[in-house]
Amino acid sequence: MPKSKLLKFLKKFLVLILDGSSGAALQKRGMPRGVCPEKWAFDNPAHLIKLQKEYIKAGSKMLYTFTLGGTRTKLDEFGHGKDTEAINAGLARISRKAAGKRLLVAGDIGPTGHFPKPFGDMEFEDCVNIFKEQVRGLIKGGVDLFAIETMIDIQEARAALIACKELSKLPVMVSMTFDKDKRTLTGTDPVAALITLQSLGADVVGVNCSTGPKEMVEVIEAMKPYARVPLMAKPNAGLPRLVDGNTVFDMKAQEFA
């Protein structure tokens, strides 16, 4: 899908509604604790398709593939790294089946679990290549665009964006995660993140996870004066709490809306 088609799609809806939680939602539908989420969904596609169709019914115009932990480094934690391309391609096809032809499917790309230098010991080019392996799988699965999300380090976000841009002409959305002080874990503020990412070719920039809608509005307000691209926000339902070993979000639907 060319960038022009994405922009046309955005203008058509003015506010384009994304999907919601996948991991927590699938746990409620039978996904056991301790398994590799991506491999479980790959092996149990009916559960994922049902969930994503429910998001469509609720108003979602774009689905994220269930591949947040789809890099080789994350899949290796469960012994599935050798199947990186196949798992990503398969999960993309599952979302494509749920979405049909009218909705967009974004190939979801999350952190590797390691930091590139200088905060970690990973070489920048190694980080790019790790993301490229996942991107190849998502392309095979037929995604319309890429959604790099939950990034806590601007260097890793850059590596993922470069991987997408070097392998494909599909649009790329990038969203960072900011704390209550409006900084990423490695210290980047919203304006610096926006300028860096849009300068590197990101087609949409924004923020996801970490906070509720109220706090996220302030991040978007900070970005807005400098944005040359559409902005996105994908908040949690408030701040998470741990109750009896379970992650709980207290915000009710009406307040969230």
Over residues 110-119, mean pLDDT: 93
Q: What is the pLDDT of residues 71-101, one digit of tens each?
A: 999 999 999 999 999 999 999 999 999 998 8
Mean pLDDT taken over the chain: 93
Q: What is the pLDDT of residues 185-198, one digit of tens each?
A: 999 999 999 999 99
Contact call for residues 140 and 89 (beta carbons, < 8 A)? yes
Contact call for residues 231 and 256 (beta carbons, < 8 A)? no
pLDDT band at 253 (very low <50, low <70, confident <90, very high): confident
Q: Going by DSSP bridges, is the β-strand pair 240-243/246-249 parallel, antiparallel, or unpaired?
A: antiparallel
Contact call for residues 31 and 37 (beta carbons, < 8 A)? yes
DSSP state letter for 83: G
Q: What is the pLDDT of residues 11-29, one digit of tens each?
A: 788 788 999 989 888 988 8
Query: Residue 5 pLDDT > 90, yes or no?
Result: no
* Helix, strand, coil content of the chain in percent (nearest 5): 45, 15, 35
Residues β-bridged to residue 146? 107, 172
Domain boundaries, the chain: 3-256
Q: How many helices (H) and strands (E) does the chain have?
A: 11, 8
Q: What whole-number percentage of the chain has pLDDT above 90?
A: 75
- Choose between 202 and 9: higher pLDDT: 202
> Cα dist. 47→44, 121, 187 in Å?
6, 38, 38
Q: What whole-number percentage of the chain has pLDDT above 70?
A: 99
Query: Residue 222 pLDDT > 90, yes or no?
Result: yes
Predicted local confidence at residue 29, as pLDDT: 86
Query: Residue 224 pLDDT > 90, yes or no?
Result: yes
Largest CA distance in the chain: 47
Q: What is the pLDDT of residues 137-163, one digit of tens each?
A: 999 999 999 999 999 999 999 999 999
Give the DSSP letter string of 213-252: HHHHHHHHHHHGGG-SS-EEEE--SSSEEEETTEEEE---
CB atoms near residue 128 (< 10 Å): 19
Return the CATH superfamily for domain 3-256.
Homocysteine-binding-like domain (3.20.20.330)
Contact call for residues 148 and 173 (beta carbons, < 8 A)? yes
Over residues 193-211, mean pLDDT: 94
Predicted local confidence at residue 143, as pLDDT: 97
What phi and psi values does residue 248 have, to the nearest 5 degrees? -120, 135
- Choose between 213 and 175: higher pLDDT: 175
- Choose between 118 and 3: higher pLDDT: 118
Predicted local confidence at residue 229, as pLDDT: 95
